[in-house]
Amino acid sequence: MTTIAIIGAGPGLGAATARRFGQQGFAVALISRTQNTLDHLAAELTEHGITARGYAADVQDRSQLTAALEQAGTELGPIEVLQYSPVPRKDFLRPVLETTADDLAAATEFSILGPLTAVTQVLPGMRQLGHGTILFVNGSSAATPNGDVAGTSIAFAGESAYGAMLHEALTPHNIRVGQLIIPGAIGGADPLYDPEALANRLWNIHAEPGPFRTTVGTDST
C-alpha cells in the first residue's frame, strides 16, 4: 500500500481528498497543526474502511514537517502522492501598502519553503517507486496578483514558479506535478467548488497526464 500525504488536512477539501484517494486504495497521512482535529478526521476515515493517521506539524517548522512525513512513510507506506494545501494565515492577507517584511518572511516560509521542505523529503521515495504525484492547491492570487492579499499573492507566485519548474524537471521521470487553482470559496452553492468535486479534480490531475495548472471554472479536468 502506498500513501497520500495531505498537508493542511481539514474537514473540507482535505477530508474529501482523503476519501477520494482512500477509496482507490491509498493510505492517508493527515498533516496539520492540531493533533485532536487530525485524530477525529482519521477516525471518521477509518470507519469507512480507509487506513488513515494524523501527524501534527506546523509547515513553518521545517524539522516538524520533515519528521511528520518521515513517520508517515514509515508507518503507512511509501508516499506516492503529496498534496500541499494549507490555508494561508490571515496576516498574509493584508493590502500591499500594509504588508511588512515580517509578513512576507512568514508567508515565504509558509508557501515556498514549506513546499520545498515537503518535496525534498518525499521525492527520493517517489524516485524509488518509479512514479509519484505532487499536488499544489492555491487560490486565484497564485495566478493573478491581488494587492488586497499581498503576502499570499507574492508567496503563492513563488510556490507556482517552484511547482512549474518541478513539473518540467520531473515529468520525464514519471513524477507528475500539478497545481489546482481554486478562484472561489470552497463549499457553498456552486457545485464546482464542492469539496467532493474538487477532490475529483485532484484525482484526475494525479491519474491523467496534463499541464501543470488547472483552474476551476475554466479547465475541463
The one-digit pLDDT tens for each residue of the chain (221 residues) are 999 999 999 999 999 999 999 999 999 999 999 999 999 999 999 999 999 999 999 999 999 999 999 999 999 999 999 999 999 888 888 999 999 999 999 999 999 999 999 999 999 999 999 999 999 999 999 999 999 999 999 999 999 999 999 999 999 999 999 999 999 889 877 899 999 999 999 999 999 989 999 999 885 44
Write down the residue that cell numbers 487560490 correspond to: 139
Determine the pLDDT at residue 127: 98
Are the C-beta atoms of residues 213 and 136 closer than 8 Å to each other?
no
Q: Is residue 25 one of the residues assigned to a domain?
A: yes
Q: CB of 77 within 8 A of CB of 3?
A: yes
* Residue 221 within a domain: no
Q: Which pLDDT score, from 0 to 100, does residue 90 have? A: 85
Within 10 A of 48 (CB to CB), how many other CB atoms are there?
11
- Please tell me the predicted confidence (pLDDT) of residue 92: 86
Is 173 inside any structural domain? Answer: yes
Question: Grid coordinates standing for 12?
Answer: 473540507
Rounded Cα distance, 78 and 218, in Å: 34
Range of the domain at 184: 3-215
Residue 163, in any domain of the structure: yes
Taking the C-alpha atoms of residue 165 and residue 158, their distance in angstroms, rounded to an integer, is 11
CA distance 51 to 186: 25
Q: Indicate the number of domains in the chain.
A: 1
Q: Decide if 220 is inside a domain.
A: no
Q: What pLDDT is stored for residue 221 in this prediction? A: 45
Q: Is 17 inside a domain boundary?
A: yes
pLDDT value at residue 219: 59
pTM of the model: 0.95
* CATH at residue 52: 3.40.50.720
Residue 134 domain-assigned (yes or no): yes
